[in-house]
Amino acid sequence: MSSDSAQQSPLSDFSSTPSSVDEDLQVYLKPEGEKIRLSLPRSTQRSGSTDWSEVWQQLKHRLNGSDRSWQPGTTVHLSAKDRLLDGRQLQAIADALEEVQLQLGRIDTSRRQTAVAAATAGYSVEQHSPIAPLSTSTSEAAPQWSQPLYLQTNVRSGVDVRHSGTVIILGDLNPGGTVIAAGDILIWGRLRGIAHAGAQGNRGCRIMALRMEPTQLRIADAVAKAPETPPAQVDPEVAYIAPQGIRLTKGIDFFKTHSFSAEEGGWTDL
Amino acid sequence: MSRIIVITSGKGGVGKTTVTANLGAAIANLGRSVALVDADFGLRNLDLLLGLENRVVFTAVDAIAGECRLQQALVKDKRQGGLALLPAAQNRNKEAVTAQQMKELSLELSEKYDYVIVDSPAGIEVGFQNAITAAQEAIIVTTPEVAAVRDADRVVGLLEANGIKRIHLIVNRMKAEMVQLNEMMSVEDILEILAVSLIGIIPDDQRVVVSSNRGEPLILADKVSLPGMAFNNIARRLEGDKVRFLDLMASQDNLINRFRRWFR
Ligand SMILES: Nc1ncnc2c1ncn2[C@@H]1O[C@H](COP(=O)(O)OP(=O)(O)O)[C@@H](O)[C@H]1O
Ligand SMILES: [Mg+2]
């Protein structure tokens, strides 16, 4: 694997990739006390139907791939943010949740039309002003660190998985698919797409895969692309930042033979 | 129970329409009734491949608009009793039809036909969304090329998100000698990425082009060709028969086992 550590920026400077794991860009499912919060991405400027079909694909991907460790019948609070949802779309979401034994309870929205549609369909609604989002958990100041995202599914071409913590995929990361994580990335399968670990600047993060055949690997601000003719390595491997840039090694011994050095800005041999 | 199957690919020009026409004819040849729906609005050519162009009077859009009954818009193939085509409008754009209308239309056809097979347009936009809305099953068509497989993978993800769980794969335009020389993706390479069930492999063959130009599905030829046999086998596999994969490399001496496995 050829590699080059792009601009040796200081560790504290996250400016190159600060928002890449922004929770507002993706569908999120996370426990919140007794309930589960399902948070939709903010709406984009793009045409309504394409935008909805992308959100829908992400939602199904997350639900189908989840480990379903919740209690059957758990209530879900939907954060629809500034998204326009009609009755049909709300019904589709409720049905999708029901398939995995979750129950749509309340809907939080900043849009009047969505609130009306939700109330008409018989859900309890909380409408809040668009300027101050209700969920204070998405504080802008400090980079957030979330629970690991565990997905039991393939990440296919055209699919982006972004998460402000560690990502674990039980399946393949296919060419054309992308995983961007603030923490580590563990692919229990083939890694053939693009993986970016430590996306908020943490150079200690690693990318692990049963079969490492990536299009491109990134850790923090370092980038490495696959060589033209990848060596036929069949063992699980770990990608990490060494002082010289991104390196690959067999997974089995990595933690015995390497340690992270903040001064060196990377992992060094013991 | 009748089956609604969408033929799709993501990438254009990989053989969706060719597969729809020939597979439809092959299923009808097994004694099943089949309605083929051309959902490629604005670019219709399924009627051409079936040799039915000159008999098209009304289209799906006319039926949806209530300008004719659905039965009137259907073109029945005189050579094969069980086969009928619902043509797409050539002059209207794809916004002329909604997903809901497409769904109702497919469901209505499924009351009368054993199979409703929908030929979808390229891409993943509105026309594609409309084509998949009623389907319970999908056949993904790809050629052994990196770009085609990449698009097929994207489409598999979208089908999964839309609750279509039965997804079959056809690898079209296989050139055995190129795989052998390691110049082309093998079926195994493709399956490794797409992870869906293989239902057929169709060789790259001039006779496919000739039959399309003549408007004569391969299954109707006096002496059935290798690609014609491949379509017949796919039809039988859809019906639940266990049919071995053709040995497309029988004429080649130097067999690579890795490739051969799929043809036994
Ligand atoms: N197995 C094959 N061997 C040779 N030519 C083929 C084969 N399958 C398709 N073709 C040719 O490829 C072209 C595109 O096929 P078509 O079915 O129109 O693709 P699509 O509907 O996916 O756009 C046509 O000219 C067709 O004759
Ligand atoms: Mg076509």
- Do residues A78 and A63 lie in contact, with contact meaning Cβ atoms separated by under 8 Å? no
Q: How large a percentage of chain B has pLDDT more than 70?
A: 91
* Residues in chain A where the model's pLDDT stays below 70: 1-20, 23, 45-50, 130-145, 230-231
CB pair distance less than 8 Å for A56 and B161? yes
Tell me, in angstroms, the distance from the centre of ligand 2 to residue B156's CA.
18
Going by CA atoms, what residue is nearest to atom 13 of ligand 1?
A: B13
pLDDT at A16: 42
Q: What is the 3-state secondary structure (H, E, C) of A161-199?
A: EEECCCEEECCCECCCCEEEECCCEEEEEEECCEEEECC
Residue B45 above 70 pLDDT?
yes
Judge contact between B35 and B50, C-beta under 8 A.
Answer: no
User: Which domains, from first to last, does chain A contain?
Assistant: 14-128 (no CATH), 140-263 (2.160.20.70)
CB B214 within 8 A of CB B251: no
The atom number, within ligand 1, closest to the CA of B45 reads 18
Chain B nearest-CA residue for A191? B193
Could you confirm whether domain B3-262 is CATH 3.40.50.300?
Answer: yes
Is-contact B180 B254, C-beta < 8 A?
yes
Amino acid at A195: A
Q: What is the pTM of this model?
A: 0.83
* B204 within ligand 1 shell (Cβ under 6 A): yes
- Diameter of chain B by CA atoms? 60
> If you measure from the C-alpha of residue A232 to the centroid of ligand 2, how many angstroms do you get, rounded to a whole number?
39
Question: Nearest CA to CA, how far is B133 from chain A (Å)?
Answer: 12
Domain map (residue ranges) of chain B: 3-262
Instruction: Say if the Cβ atoms of B129 and A190 lie within 8 Å.
Output: no
The amino acid present at A234, given as its one-letter code, is: V
Q: State whether the beta carbon of B22 lies less than 6 angstroms from ligand 1.
A: no
> pLDDT digit string (tens) for B188-242?
999 999 999 999 999 999 999 999 999 999 999 999 999 999 999 999 999 999 9
Residue type, B236: R
Contacts of B241 (CB under 8 A, 6+ apart): none
Mean pLDDT of B123-130: 90
**Nearest atom of ligand 1 to the alpha carbon of B174:** 1
- Kindly determine whether residue A60 and residue B161, on different chains, have CB atoms separated by under 8 Å: yes
Non-local (6+) Cβ contacts of A214 within 8 A are A191, A192, A193, A194, A195, A226, A239
User: How far B37 CA sits from the closest chain A CA (Å)?
Assistant: 23
Element of type H or E holding B129: helix B126-132
Partner residue facing B157 (CB), from A50, A158, A192: A158
Contact criterion met (CB < 8 Å) for A176 and B153: yes
**CB B157 less than 6 A from any atom of ligand 1:** no
Whether A236 has its CB under 8 Å from any CB of chain B: the answer is no
Residue type, B151: D
Provide the pLDDT confidence category of residue B183 given band limits of 50, 70 and 90: confident
Instruction: Give rounded-to-5 percent helix, strand, coil for chain B.
Output: 45, 15, 40
Tokens of A38: 């399902």
Cα separation of A196 and A178, whole Å? 8
pLDDT band at B259 (very low <50, low <70, confident <90, very high): very low
Q: Mind telling me how many Å the CA of A28 is from chain B's nearest CA? A: 16
Which of B15-29, B31-45, B182-196 is the most confident on average? B15-29
